[in-house]
Chains A and B, each alone.
Chain A
Amino acid sequence: MNHLLILPILLPAVVGALLVLAARHDGVLARTFAVASTVLLLAIAVALLVLASDGQVRSYALGAWPAPFGIVLALDRLAALMLVLNAVLGLGVLLYAIGGWDQRGKHFHPLFQFELMGINGAFLTGDFFNLFVFFEILLIASYGLMVHGGGGLRVKAGVQYVVTNLVGSSVFLIAVGMIYNVTGTLNMADLARIVPQVPAADQALLQTGAVLLLVFAVKAALVPLHFWLPGTYANAPGPVAALFAIMTKVGAYSILRLYVLAFGADAGAAAWLAAPWLLPAGLLTLVLGMTGVLAARSLGQMASFAVIGSMGMLLATVAVFTPQATSAALYYLIHSTLAAGALFLVADLVAERRGAQRDRFAAAPRIAQGGLVGGLFFVAAIAMTGMPPLSGFIGKLLVLDGVRASAHAAWFWALILTTSLIAIVGFARAGSFVFWKPHALPAAPASAYRPDGALSFVAVGGLLACLVLLTVFAGPVHAWLELVAAQLYAPAGYIDAVLGTAQGVR
């Protein structure tokens, strides 16, 4: 067994606990440890990515209990990709938070590490119930991060967020119970082996459980389960909202992982159960999210709706369930995570500089460093709306191309192109209101705002630079993502790697 597999979970867990115990009152020490841990996490994730690139699936039996009985972690290309994405976004957000947000409340850094741990765990685990546990870890940390810094409105939005997710967790547990009841296993690979053999009498129970698993869509903010997202993200601290950009993707990852593995082509009567629900819901989410961009009343709200829209496109593309569409969806997933993160950080840069108006679309005097912040917003907006030359454009092209074989291709083309136009109008309106309109107002007295250090700009610029890299290396990245999708759609390798441990083959 390769012990590198457990490090993405172990490292943030240990560092997070150390930060609570030892660095509670020492801001510098906490920052140093948090950054060191996240950089190390990125290095480990990249090492795992290199390891997984050979196409072999690796499993790690916790406590050396053999596979269907013990809990396993499994690393394939998709999991490694998500780990790297999480570490990159985490590092960018952490650097931004060090600009001042982390000192506005207690325990930012430990919660941040636990959040990374939960997300990494959800990507790595090969066990169903363990997935629930890691979901809860990342949610508990996110509850703390969500209300970081306090304030009545934020706490109230936090209550909504917690309640929504608790109900979601209950439904998830019911689904797990139903599937366990029929199949007698919680191991995902074992589940994939048993699902085709489920007798017809038990199919109703199994399929109800499988459809209930769409509760992952609560995390992915799929219509009609999206109502929590705008309130939460728009009221969360800027850097936290940026980190939450990957949490919606955890939902999408779980849907992709579980439905392709266990309820995919080999599943007999239960094959592709999710598709008829997921596809229309995804397209509806796309329309609703991008329309919301037009109706938003603040930059944060606008970014939230853009996230909903991009999740809709992502999930609809995933719901086509073909390797071509999935590789396009994965490219768009990387892009939209980084772009949404950058956009939330820019919204926070604006909000910090506008005093009482925060990031609302209301008349406010010119902001400090307006040119630079406006430029960053412009780049992030181009990325988010999917205009050339950035990776959003390439992502949308790949999606349009990937779904051509689908029976619903016309819907995809019409809705994606129309909503892109709507989003462009929305973002153009927001940008001109926030950055150009103030020039018509009389110059304000010098604001009390002291421009903070270069670190915030380094963080935003770093995330945007990743998008530029993603654009420049779109060819090789997409070729690699095709390998990811190919591995995903050949679940035999995954099943053998995980269950092989039981037979002592390894």
Chain B
Amino acid sequence: MTGFATLLVKELLRFWKVAFQTVGGPVLSALLYLVIFAQALGAHVRVFEGVPYTAFLVPGLVMMTVLQNAFANSASSLIQSRITGNMVFVLLSPISPAEFFAAYTLASMARGLVVGLGVLAAAAGFVELPAVAPAWALAFALLGSALLGVLGLLAGLWAEKFDQIAAFQSFLIVPLTMLSGVFYSIRSLPPAWQAVSHLNPFFYMIDGFRYGFFGASDVAPAASLAVVAVSLAVLSALALQLLRKGYKLRT
């Protein structure tokens, strides 16, 4: 195996060895949202014509879980390794900045996708879900998880302590995902809030992912995918630049 492959395997093992916490926990949380919202609102809310609210909810919850877990993986792994000092074992090796970047991002994508699939599989047990354009759903899941994996990498590099990562999650990632149209269509919002929602990059990921199931969305999926792809390219370039400089890794 190359250094890159080993680092990827190590990052996969890191979350898989504690899958009860890193996969099981988030799947349960998402299902609780589903049960509670579907029970409370299911009979009263209709977003897309002919789509029950419970079905509308599932793709949004899946994507929200994918994004939050992709972020959590790289962010927590990096901050842990930096604070405990075991990052030194990677830094002493000939692994290049690009390999480092790819291993952390791919492992984050894997965690996001595994948790997302778990939510989808569990929800499929009691919600009937169409899959009109699965390739779109897959494209958004891949790019979205990569984007949040890179964002987690940046947060993990920048933060000096665990509570800064927690703050990043609580005050940025969670609000942006919750307010991105997971639980509603932004068309139901007043015009001003619709405009604000369009500034939220998470909105495009949720909306585009949902298109893959129902063939209906607030924004054309190609436009959403372009927003996600450009964001991913910009953040990746930034992360690679920081890694090449050894930002907060090499003094």
Note whether A and B form a binding pair: no
